[in-house]
């Protein structure tokens, strides 16, 4: 039987190891858009990625869900450590927006320009046309755009000639386009945007930013997580209704 002194040494070592683990484990508060909970009756792949960030580094990430704009305001007011996802705005500074983007680019999203086949438009001069986009994304453009809340409604409006073009996520819009079977709609890549998490202003390089950078690097470097990232970003493919 080991002596009392040896038992105390073993117990002390175990406590020391546990303390080390707790020192390295951090807690983070995520504010996520509630649309993540209702993506065609299954959780969003983005939600799974957020939980994976915690898992690969043994951190605790608590998640609360809000309407999209409220979730962003939670970060601006420093009531949350981060919101995810958000497309990086190419025309506004962090100070104008009131938040920082994560150092890591998490994924990308392809915005596609939808027009009518019977009317050609110049993609390099879109300010000359009546162009619409999703109502939450009007600030991603440096020319006037109309905000429309429904993809279904926007495509029907385009098909009837009430707008000249519609720009939005190809992954989202293509599903609706196929369901509506609008064969007179032409599609072409408009722009590929970077997608980040966002942090309270002044947060680049802080604990949250470092966690996201390290976790994402771990996931990207591991073959076992390849399918996770494939499900999050779908490359643009050229196709048209015939």
Measured from the Cβ of residue 73, the count of other Cβ atoms closer than 10 Å reads 17
Q: What is the pLDDT of residue 5?
A: 39
pTM for this entry = 0.84
CA gap 35, 76 in Å, rounded: 20
Give the β-pairing of 60-66 and 27-33.
Answer: parallel
Vertex 185 angle, CA 140 and 187, to 5°: 50
Q: Model confidence over 148-189: pLDDT tens digits? A: 999 999 999 999 999 999 999 999 999 999 999 999 999 999
Peptide bond into 85 cis (omega under 30): yes
Strand-pairing partners, residue 86, are 196
Q: Mean pLDDT across the stretch 210-225? A: 94
pLDDT of residue 38: 60
Determine the average pLDDT of the residues in 1-25. 40
Q: Give the max Cα distance, the chain.
A: 90
């Amino acid at each position: 039987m080991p002596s009392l002194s040896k038992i105390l040494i073993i117990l002390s070592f175990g406590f020391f190891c546990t303390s080390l683990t707790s020192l390295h484990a951090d807690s983070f508060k995520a504010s996520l858009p509630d649309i993540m909970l209702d993506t065609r009756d299954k959780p969003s792949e983005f939600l799974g990625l957020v939980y994976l960030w915690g898992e690969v580094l043994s951190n605790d990430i608590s998640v609360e869900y809000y309407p999209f704009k409220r979730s962003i305001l939670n970060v601006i007011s420093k009531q949350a450590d981060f919101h995810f996802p958000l497309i990086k705005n190419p025309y506004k500074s962090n100070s104008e927006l009131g938040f920082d983007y994560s150092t890591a680019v998490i994924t990308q999203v392809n915005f596609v320009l939808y027009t009518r086949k019977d009317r050609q438009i110049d993609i390099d001069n879109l300010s000359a046309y009546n162009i619409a986009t999703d109502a939450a994304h009007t600030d991603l453009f440096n020319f006037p755009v109309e905000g429309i809340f429904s993809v279904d409604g926007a495509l029907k409006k385009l098909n009837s000639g009430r707008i000249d073009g519609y720009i939005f996520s190809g992954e989202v819009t293509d599903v609706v386009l196929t369901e509506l079977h609008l064969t007179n709609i032409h599609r072409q890549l408009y722009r590929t945007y970077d997608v980040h998490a966002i942090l309270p202003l002044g947060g680049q390089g802080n604990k949250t930013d470092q966690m996201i950078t390290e976790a994402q690097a771990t996931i990207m470097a591991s073959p076992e997580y390849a399918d996770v990232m494939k499900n999050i970003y779908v490359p643009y493919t050229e196709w048209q209704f015939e």
